[in-house]
Amino acid sequence: MKKTFVLGIYGNSNTGKTNLMIDLIKHYKEKGFKVATLKITDKNIAFDKPGKDTFKHGEAGSDLVTFSSSIETVFLIKEKQTINNIISNISNFDYYDIIFVEGANDKKTPKIRIGDITERENTICTYYGDFLRLINIITEKMNERVDKNE
């Protein structure tokens, strides 16, 4: 059974986390991987806005709010969740080869550090702009996981 590889990226604001995520997504999609992403922030912000119908549904007590239009569907779970719970929920939608987590701060997820931020537990490397080197490190970590049947 295939298992999703989860990889975090962290760094201070404006260090290139989102640009790196975009490059990684494009690279792995071109290689045929099925990719999911997760953005985590420590800021006290919400995706949903007051006055919108979906916001009113959540205010009324709905635990799960779903919005669907002709171009997208969004699921809002009206509670903070751990990264493990979020990844489990993502896995319920479909199988993904890799999930990139921007802002990963948990101990379990392997991570890439950008910039001079304090190194977090389970950091596998610091990214200095050498994309090919980074891809090689990620590939090695993915292969280690497969070899260990993790």
CATH number of the domain enclosing 90:
3.40.50.300
In a domain, 143, yes or no: yes
pLDDT at 23: 96
In a domain, 49, yes or no: no
Check if the beta carbon of residue 95 is closer than 8 Å to that of residue 3: no
In a domain, 139, yes or no: yes
pLDDT at 144: 83
In a domain, 31, yes or no: yes
pLDDT at 41: 80
In a domain, 55, yes or no: no
What is the rounded CA–CA span in Å between residue 64 and residue 78?
6
What is the rounded CA–CA span in Å between residue 146 and residue 126?
23
SS3 87: helix
Show the domain range for 114: 5-44+80-147
Series of mean pLDDT values for 10-residue runs along the chain (150 residues): 87 93 95 92 76 85 84 85 89 90 92 96 95 95 71
pLDDT at 7: 96
In a domain, 32, yes or no: yes
pLDDT at 45: 66
pLDDT at 8: 95
pLDDT at 44: 72
In a domain, 65, yes or no: no
Domain count of the chain?
A: 1
In a domain, 57, yes or no: no
Check if the beta carbon of residue 2 is closer than 8 Å to that of residue 146: no
